[in-house]
Amino acid sequence: MHDDNEPIAALATPHGPGGVAVIRASGRDVLSKLAAVIDGDVELRARIATPVRIRFADGAPAIDARALAYSAGASYTSEESVELFLPSSPPVLRSLLEQLRRAGIRAAEPGEFTRRAFLSGRIDLTRAEAVVQVIAAEDLESARAARRVLDGDLAREIERLGDSIHNLIALLEAGLDFSEQEVEPPAAAWLLTQARDILAHLDRLCRNPVSAHRSTARVRVVLWGRANAGKSTCFNALLGRDSAITSPQAGTTRDPVGAELVRDGWPTVELLDLPGAHDAADRSEKAAIALAAKDLEDADLILYLVDASRSVASITREWGSLPDGIKARAWLVLSKADLTAARPSLDGVGAPPTQLALSATTPGGRQELEMALASHLTRGRWDARGAAYLFTDRQRSKLTEARAALREVADDLSRRDASAEPVQPELLSIDLRDVHGSLEEITGALSTEETLDKIFSQFCLGK
């Protein structure tokens, strides 16, 4: 374990020869310790680039550099800090870092500067994670989306949601604290309205299509549904060629089939045709289904296909049985639509954001699907990814967790409102605190050392 405030140093620019390198140092008494490598008595004033001469103990000639100091409370880490600008010569940089170590400024661990910024309260955990996302961004849109998180927009949204939940908890617990004065808890109908408003906001956040586990220049669209729902036929129709085997027999697709879907003006689309959902008959099928589950988890958009010739009731049950995390990213595509004119109403089971009909025997359905995809991937949110957020897998998981817990609260309140049962403020308060805790884990208001270690171990040195 290290002293949290002991001075640290690291190279903050890429390794290798170059014009200018930056060595960052931060921590207690770092400026006084820096004097051991600076030639002469030079006063370093805050936020003023000061010319200095770096001397080397091994007899190498001194070199010119610039030192930019920051006072405690005004730096990135909120500690006394300094940045040294000097020629990017690997032997010179190694020698200087070694001299700083001898002067009592140890080598920083990956992400240690940003970790200190978080622990000092300079930034929340979403902004800390966004540092890596901005660095890793592979296109301008994803950089803008990551920058929004770095600027604190996501944290402010999460905090507003947390405040709304906290206000509900306060109202519920006020009734418990002042039960002798016969303070009535809020009515179930009113609480249900509040919970649904918060849930709607969470739904919008969970539908955010930008994910940080791979380049946002590529969009993963997955075709899924029960066996023989028409996924492979839809896959071939979108590609304009026969890339997947189609057959009236269920279960033709045993492994994911992928292809690149290219259209002018679209981002690169990775199109995946997954095996149909069914009970596995042997070990190989179980392995294939496990892989399909991972592909669904990584999907940016799921086209969930259902045979439209089935009964409306069975289609409604099937869609309603899907996990919330799937429905939040899924469109319902009714295949074989030429066989029926019936269209299910799914309001009671969580209506999909988009519902389309598709027939392989007519061009109209395919054109409607392509037009909807074009709108979604170009003129919609994907074209404006800089106005969206770039989520890490951890953040997305906690948002989904909070959303699922709040949906359970809303379902319970709906049942109580319908049956005129009284609200149980003690239990409801506990459930809402679970939702609030998941949101606090996103911003780091509630975090563990294990979580922080996992996050900051992904950083490079000097960040």
What CATH number should be reported for the domain holding residue 37? 3.30.1360.120
Strand partners, 272: 222, 258
What is the end-to-end Cα distance of the chain in Å, rounded? Answer: 19
Domain containing 324 — which CATH number?
Answer: 3.40.50.300
* Residue 343 and residue 399 in one domain: no
pLDDT recorded at residue 288: 46
Among the three residues 330, 359, 380, which one is the final residue of a domain in this structure?
A: 380
Residue 354 lies in a domain: yes
What single string gives the DSSP state of each residue in 196-221?
HHHHHHHHHHHT---BSSS-TTEEEE
Domain assignment present for residue 457? The answer is no
Domain that holds residue 107: 8-123
Domain count, the chain: 3
Separation CA 455–CA 111 (nearest Å): 9
Is there a single domain that holds both residue 115 and residue 134? Answer: no
Same domain, residue pair 328 and 238: yes
pLDDT computed for residue 363 by the predictor: 64
150 and 288, same domain (yes or no): no
Q: Is residue 213 situated within a structural domain?
A: no
* Domain membership flag for residue 281: yes
Q: Tokens at residue 416, please?
A: 């109580």
Domain CATH code at residue 182: 1.20.120.430
For the segment 219-268, what is each residue's pLDDT rounded down to a tens digit? 889 999 988 888 888 888 888 876 655 545 544 555 678 888 877 777 77
DSSP codes, 354-376: -EEE--TTSHHHHHHHHHHHHII
Residues 148 and 85 in one domain: no
Q: Which of 56, 90, 123 is the last residue of a domain?
A: 123
Q: What is the DSSP letter of 35?
A: G
Residues 109 and 148 occupy one common structural domain: no
CA distances for 29 relative to 4, 70, 80, 98, 146, angstroms:
13, 12, 7, 18, 34
Low-confidence ranges of the chain (pLDDT < 70): 1-3, 138-141, 175-185, 206-218, 242-255, 277-292, 339-345, 347-350, 360-365, 378-388, 461-462
Same structural domain, 20 and 46: yes
In angstroms, the CA 409 to CA 196 distance is 9
Residue 108 in domain: yes
Which of 332, 349, 380 is where one domain is finished? Answer: 380
Report pLDDT digits (tens) over 383-425.
444 446 778 878 888 888 898 899 999 998 998 888 888 888 8
pLDDT confidence of residue 208: 53
Same domain, 47 and 94: yes
Q: What is the pLDDT of residue 317?
A: 86
What tokens were used for 370?
């392509």
Confirm whether 347 is domain-assigned. Answer: yes
Let me know if 178 is exposed, middle or buried by CB neighbors in 10 A (0-12, 13-18, 19+): exposed
Residues 61, 35 share a domain: yes
* Pairing of β 8-11 and β 218-225: unpaired
Partners of residue 414 on adjacent β-strands: none
Based on the domain organization, do 417 and 433 belong to the same domain?
yes
Q: Which two tokens stand for residue 33?
A: 């310790």
Q: Are residues 235 and 358 in the same domain?
A: yes
Q: Decide if 449 is inside a domain.
A: no
The token pair that represents 383 in the structure block: 């074209």
Tens digits of per-residue pLDDT, 146-186? 788 888 888 998 999 999 998 888 888 876 655 555 556 67
- Please provide the average confidence, as pLDDT, over all residues in the chain: 80
Residue whose structure tokens are 């310790």: 33
Same domain assignment for residues 372 and 421: no
User: 1 lies in a domain?
Assistant: no
Partner residues linked to 25 by β-bridges: 9, 82
Q: Indicate yes or no: pTM above 0.85.
A: no
